[in-house]
Chain A
Amino acid sequence: MQATALMFEVARPADDAFDRVVREREEQLLRIACRILGNWADAEEVVQDAFVRLHRHGVNFPSEIVLGSWLYRVTVNLCIDRTRRAHPAEQLGEIRAPDPSAEADLLRDERKRLLMAALTTLPAKERAAVVLREIEGLATADVAAILGSSEVTVRTQISRALVRLRGVLEKGRL
């Protein structure tokens, strides 16, 4: 029993560090996962899985940046795996453009909703690149490191995705 108690004592600082990481990162990871997956329920599950993996791995990283990069990579990979298994077209259905007579705010909200829906129709890696670079504002080099591709590829993916998104928004339907 003494040995067990000692183990708990040793584990406590690590758990504190882990709790701190969860508190600091959960919001951003949830946002990223939701933008990639298109709904909060799936995003919650993915973020939970990412944190459980972090707990198993341990929070001993050389720096906060490395830790952040590791968490982004795990979360994005989990999201990509999940989008490959899911069928976004079945989940989303058809989203139509708002009524032209609606007010400006409503129109903007509708456009955002349409944009989010259009995001989910992009290929998984393009979607992740857009979310990380354009929505979360990460540097292209960081996005490339997270996705395991080159900066040129990320730039190409983003520009291609933006053209597609613009097309969807101009047409006003998916």
Chain B
Amino acid sequence: MNEDQVHDLLREIREEPVPTDSLARVRRNVAERTRRSVRWKPFAWAMACAAIAFAGILLQSGVFVRRAIQTAITARPRVPEPVLPVLPRHEPPRQPVMPAIRRVRVRPRPAPVVQTVSIRIETPDPDVVILLVGE
């Protein structure tokens, strides 16, 4: 079978009629489904319009604002605080006294101070001084 024959067959398929009952079923079902969706649409629109109009009227009349202020004023009535009875205090059980542990800090011993002895001998000459240093 060559390509032309395949094309001929495809063309013949194109010319085959569509069954009339299929067409009728499609038309009927489409009409039913679209009618169902159309039925609620106008009501939804009407309801939406009415809701918007009602909200507008309420806003203009200031009902919301007045009600909010009233609610704020009346929200917290002043009530005297209730006197709570004084309950006896339960002291926690005493812990036995334990001797404190003394920490002994070991201080570093200071380095032994080396004492030095110095003898200063002045001579008649003011520029000459004899200094004797000994440990």
Q: Which of A127-174 contact B (CB under 8 A)?
A: 130, 134-137, 162, 165-166, 169-170
In the bound assembly, the distance between CA atoms of A30 and B26 in angstroms comes to 9
Judge whether A115 and B30 touch: CB under 8 Å: no
A57 to chain B, nearest CB (A): 12
B16 to chain A, nearest CB (A): 8
Residue of B nearest to A9 (CB): B42
In the complex, which of the residues A8, A40, A111, A115 contacts B22, with contact meaning CB atoms closer than 8 Å? Answer: A40
In the bound assembly, the distance between CA atoms of A55 and B37 in angstroms comes to 9
**Which of B1-9, B61-69, B76-84, B116-124 participates in binding chain A?**
B1-9
Assuming the A-B contacts A48-B33, A162-B3, are A11 and B10 also in contact, with contact meaning beta carbons closer than 8 angstroms in the complex?
A: no
In the bound assembly, the distance between CA atoms of A132 and B45 in angstroms comes to 40
B-side residues, CB < 8 A to A, are 1-3, 6-7, 9-14, 16, 18-19, 22-23, 25-27, 29-31, 33-34, 37-38, 41-43, 45-46, 49
Judge whether A169 and B6 touch: CB under 8 Å: yes
Residue of B nearest to A30 (CB): B18
Residues of A within 8 A of B11 (CB): 135
Minimum-distance CB pairs A-B, first 8: A7-B42, A51-B30, A55-B34, A134-B10, A4-B42, A3-B46, A135-B14, A169-B1
Assuming the A-B contacts A26-B26, A27-B18, A44-B25, are A4 and B10 also in contact, with contact meaning beta carbons closer than 8 angstroms in the complex?
A: no
In the bound assembly, the distance between CA atoms of A166 and B25 in angstroms comes to 35
Q: How many A-B pairs fall under 8 Å by CB?
A: 91
Known: A23-B27, A52-B30. 14 other contacts (CB 8 A): A3-B46, A4-B43, A7-B42, A11-B42, A27-B18, A40-B19, A44-B22, A47-B26, A48-B29, A48-B33, A52-B37, A108-B12, A115-B6, A134-B7
Q: A112 on the interface (CB 8 Å rule)?
A: yes
* 18 A-B residue pairs with CB within 8 Å: A3-B46, A4-B42, A7-B46, A22-B30, A27-B23, A30-B18, A31-B18, A51-B30, A51-B34, A52-B37, A55-B33, A108-B12, A115-B10, A135-B11, A135-B14, A137-B14, A169-B6, A169-B9
Residues of B within 8 A of A44 (CB): 22, 25-26, 29
Residues of A within 8 A of B2 (CB): 166
Judge whether A43 and B34 touch: CB under 8 Å: no
Q: A35 on the interface (CB 8 Å rule)?
A: yes
Assuming the A-B contacts A26-B26, A48-B33, A137-B14, are A3 and B9 also in contact, with contact meaning beta carbons closer than 8 angstroms in the complex?
A: no
Residues of A within 8 A of B30 (CB): 22, 48, 51-52, 55
In the bound assembly, the distance between CA atoms of A52 and B32 in angstroms comes to 10
In the complex, which of the residues B13, B26, B38 contacts A135, with contact meaning CB atoms closer than 8 Å? Answer: B13
Judge whether A43 and B10 touch: CB under 8 Å: no
Judge whether B22 and A43 touch: CB under 8 Å: yes
